[in-house]
Each structure stands twice: as structure tokens, then as C-alpha cells.
Structure 1
Amino acid sequence: MDSIDLEVLKTSAAWLAQGLRCELITVVRTWGSSPRPIGAMLAICEDGRVVGSVSGGCIEDDLIERVRREGIARSTPELVSYGISADEAHRFGLPCGGTIELALEPLGAHSRIDELLDQLAQHRLVQRRLHLPTGAVTLAPATAGPVLERHGDELWTQHGPRWRLLIIGAGQLSRFLAQIASAMDYHVTVCDPREDYRAGWQLPGVPLVHAMPDDLVLDMQPDSRSAIVALTHDPKLDDLALMEALKSPAFYVGAIGSRANNAKRRERLRQFDLTPEQLDRLHGPVGLYIGSKTPAEIAISILAEITAVKNGVPAVLQVPPRRDIGARNS
């Protein structure tokens, strides 16, 4: 499952390969409230087809209408704004006072979309630099940072997996979790040394590593953009990996299991050289309470909690468990 941004780029490349004209539209700036964040992308084809989103739909409708009426005639990028006046904000579904600035970029061979996709297929983090006066594009390696920056006449956008997720265990739940996380621009790795589980793993684009989980955590060198989730229910696989993860700067460390099993796990981890503060970082039972029952629902609850932690949502504002969820995480 591709992320929305990757789908936009792949669709743009396909249209260009068919000889069709198309434009890439990127949210550059917003004032007040805006339905889509800075860096959000949409591609529009000369026949009016679109992929992606830059608003709640009204701006897309206006862009489609303009293309169908005028075609794609611009040869260089152009910056346009929506929602300057109250009437325009109302027309385009922007909240009161909301304004959005878009970069409209006509695509072609010079846009280097195919080259960008090749690098993204290798899980590289890439900075794409667009020279607004000419449309010239350069690509450069990137380190995790802002999705979009404006530097004079250049627009710098960042593409690729800006976050990492290590999933310990290759069961059914792991497949759902890996699919959803991949669509959210995580570079996902699954680790499971058990032969029976490895044999049934089939998820293109998500590597399955056969190492011991604690060794892989050390090799991975988790940073503040890394999350680690243990899903095996096997202390021999989970505990040592969790110990190493809790010592690392990883922003999220979680483990599946009922409240009783997680209490036992914490007692076992206390026997290692973990500080109380490090142990308090463990999320378990993993995931926010959403009444989940199926593997797909549990995967959503786990990604919901990871997202809340990543976005700095205080724990008191996260949905608290209303009952024991041992059946879900047993």
C-alpha cells in the first residue's frame, strides 16, 4: 500500500509516460485553519483526472474546472492563493480567515519524477529542489526535517520515509500494521527468527529480517524518529529487544499483551539495568482503546497511539482504556 504522496508521484509518472500533460500542485503556505497541511500534494491531468488532495474538495473542483476550460498551458511554476477574502474562503470551504498558497508546477522530463521514484524505491530520503522561475529540479540526499521549505526562488520538498517502524513478530497483526504504517510514510522492517512465521510472510516492500530482535534493535540504532512494537507474545524474543529499545531515543516502544501479561513483563524488565523512567516509556497494552477486536482494528489502534505520541498529544488527552482489553491484546 503506497502513501498518498507516493501515489501522486507514481500517477504523475504514468501520465507523463502516456504523453499526457499534467501538473503537480503542492501546499506551500497556510494562514489560519486549513484542511490540508503544508507539503500536501495533488496531481491533475489534462483530461481532468486528479489524485491526491490539497483541500476538502472545493479547491480541487476549481483546479479541475480551470484545466478543462483552459488546458495546461503554463510552462513554468506559478504560486496562487485561495481564500484571501471572506467570500472566497466560504466558496472554497476554508474556515473563516483561512488562506492557502499553492505551487502549480507543470511536469515534464525536466521534473525528474522517475528518478525521484527510483530513489524512493530504495527507501532513501530525498530532497527535491524546484527552481520556481524556470521549473528546473535538482535532487539531493536529505536528513529528516521539514516537509517543505522556501529558500528564495527555490521550493525544497522532502520525500521518502521520514519515520521508521520495527515490528517484532511476523503474524497476521504484523501484516496489517506494516501495511497501514507504510501508507503513513514509515520505513517498516519486520523481524522474526521463527521459521514457521517467516514462511508465510508475503508483503512486497516490507523486508522480513531473520535476526534475533535484540540484535536488530542494536543494529538499527533507533533515534527520535523510530518506533518499536513487539507482537510475538514470546518473552524470549520480546524482552531483550524491549530492553534495548527502552534504552534508546526511540519515540515509541510498545508491546502487545493483556494487562496481567504486561505487568509480568514489567517485573521481568525490572531485573535488567533499566531505570524507572526508561521502564515508564513502555506502552502496554499497546494501542489506544477503540473497542478493537480484529487484527485490522488492533493495528489501527496501535498506529493511532503511535501517531498521538509522535504528534506530542499529552497522555491525558489520549483515549483511556475503559475496561480490561486482555481479549484484544491477549
Structure 2
Amino acid sequence: MKEVIQEAVRQLEDQNPCVLATVVRTKGSTPQKSGSMLLVRQDGTGVGTLGGGCVEGDIWYAAKEMLRNHSGPEFKDYFLNEDIAARDGLVCGGTMYFYLEPMWEPSAFVDIGSQLIDAYEGGDPVGLATVVNVPDGGINLGAKLILKVDGTVSGTLGSVELDDKAVRVAQQVADVGSNESFVTEDGTEVFVEGFTTPPTLAVIGGGHVGKATADLANSLGYRVFVVDDRPEFANSERFPYAEQTVVSSYDRWFEKLTINVNTFIVVATRGTVF
């Protein structure tokens, strides 16, 4: 998702409109889960994925039509039932709900997007709430609210009640980078996303056990940091994928790494002495 948001910011800074399509809710077996994103540029190319197949193709087409007709935003649902699966060769058979958001000017997203990128790169977690569906006559489709870790709230979803509910949910999802949607009694749906660093593994000890553990974590998409008190066991040649290798005594390494709620620590020092 970080790459999608970065590209959205770049496109808007260059004055290029684009459409951000997000999976906001799913039921059953689906090719992607909530939070997945696809950015469609003005030239029709894209970044990210909603799971591929005919559904992604249809969303892609809808996004291009938005850019061509200067329309949107829009909430769309797809029921991947057995008839569609048989006709189009689909493997999954659940239901997917999407929010397509056209962005025409830098002011629409650049500031928010920059905050999300900062959270991905180690800054404070943030929660972003967006009204993704409204009942007939609703006027707040696309309204946004962003919650910072210090409790500061920017923006509004259109009412005190909606804002209060969104803030409570954002407080739950921000630190762990998860997401959740809720629907009010009048049918207004709000999608709340948490943005923080991806799962991070700090491996303390770069020997053979630490190396195998770090290799596995990297293959699973973790950010990897390695600490050892020997330079030959904590360097970029031994761990080319590591975001940081730290040569430090084992009683001071934590002073050189940023640890948050999304960080896992494996102690694999030699002889389990440290």
C-alpha cells in the first residue's frame, strides 16, 4: 500500500488527476481483503492490485471512466457467486465492496498521503476514516477524518456522532495497521484504516540461527533489523535486505533502534549468554 500512496502523492504533485480504488469490505472467499488498493493514473496505467481477474478489470475501467467524465466518487459491490465464477473462471466466491475516489487537485490528498507515508516509514501511527457509502440524499460521501497518536483530529465526517465513532475505531486500528468498517442506522458506511510501520523483526545476534530467522522474516514481508557485537555478523553483505544492521554491545543496542507495538524481537545471541 505504501507504493500506491506514494504514487498518488507524486501524481497529484505533478498536477495529474488519478483514482484510488480501495477494498473496504469483504465477505467469504475473495482474491483480496479489505485495505487493498489500486491507483489508476490519468493515462490508464495503474499501481497496486485488487486481486486481478474480471473484478479488477471492471474497477479499472470504472476508474478510467471517472477520469474521462470527471465523475465520482462511487461505492461498488461485486457478488462473486457460482454463476459468475463458472462464466468467468473465478476461483473465489465471496462478496467485495469497493470505494473509488477520484482526486483532481493536490489539496485532495497530498497532505494526508504524506502523513500516511511518514507513518509507514517509522513516524507516529495515524488513523484515517473515510465515508465510503451514504444513503440516498447523503452529501458527505468522501468526507475524511485523520487521527494522530497525540489525539489530534483533523477533518470531519459531517457530524459529531460520526466523528466520535470514527475516532474510537481509529484508536483501535492505528497502532497495528489494521482496518475496520462500520455502518450507521441510516446506512452511512465509514471505512477506518490504521497506518503504521509494517511488521518489523529485530534479530539480536547475526549468527546462523539469526541469519535463518532473518531470511524467513524477509520472505514474509517483515522489515528486518539485525544487531550483533561483531562487525562480520552485522553488515549489509550478510543481510542485504536489512533496513539497518547495528554493531553494538548487547546491553545498548536498543538505543539505536526504534521499537513500537508492531516490532517483534528475537534473541539469537551465541551461547544464549546475552
- With the length of structure 1 as denominator, give the TM-score of the two structures: 0.56
1:42-57 alignment runs, 5 A limit: 42-57=38-53
Change over 3 Å in CA distance of 1:162–1:65 after alignment to 2: closer
Which residue in 1 is equivalent to 2:128?
Answer: 128
Equivalent residue for 2:108, pick from 103, 107, 110:
110
Which residue in 2 is equivalent to 1:272?
Answer: none
Query: Which structure has more helix as a fraction of its residues?
Result: 1
1:132-147 alignment runs, 5 A limit: 132=132, 133-140=140-147, 141=149, 142-144=174-176, 146-147=178-179
Distance 1:102 1:208 in 2: 40
Which residue in 2 is equivalent to 1:208?
Answer: 245
Shift of 1:16: 1.7
1:178-257 alignment runs, 5 A limit: 181=218, 184=221, 186-198=222-234, 200=236, 206-213=243-250, 216=253, 226-228=264-266, 230=268, 234-235=270-271, 239-240=272-273
Distance 2:142 2:75 in 1: 12
**Residue-by-residue CA offset, 1:23-56 (whole Å, 9 max, x unaligned):** 2212122222111122222111122211211123
Shift of 1:181: 3.2
Distance 2:123 2:220 in 1: 13
Q: Taking every aligned residue pair, what percent have the same amino acid on both sides? A: 27
Contact 1:27 1:54 in 2 (8 A): yes
- Are 1:61 and 2:57 counterparts? yes
Contact 1:120 1:159 in 2 (8 A): yes
Distance 1:106 1:146 in 2: 24
Gap regions ≥5 residues in structure 1: 242-330
Which residue in 2 is equivalent to 1:81?
Answer: 77
Specify the SS of the correspondent of 2:181.
strand
- With the length of structure 2 as denominator, give the TM-score of the two structures: 0.66
Change over 3 Å in CA distance of 1:84–1:194 after alignment to 2: closer
**Structure showing greater relative contact order (alpha-carbon pairs closer than 8 Å, 6 or more residues apart):** 2
Contact 2:23 2:33 in 1 (8 A): yes
Shift of 1:194: 1.4
CA RMSD after TM alignment: 3.9
**Residue-by-residue CA offset, 1:207-245 (whole Å, 9 max, x unaligned):** 333333466579988979625263x6x32xxx145xxxx
Higher Rg? 1
Gap regions ≥5 residues in structure 2: 133-139, 150-173
Query: Which structure has more strand as a fraction of its residues?
Result: 2
Specify the SS of the correspondent of 1:71.
helix
Distance 2:218 2:75 in 1: 32
Letter in 1 for 2:77: S
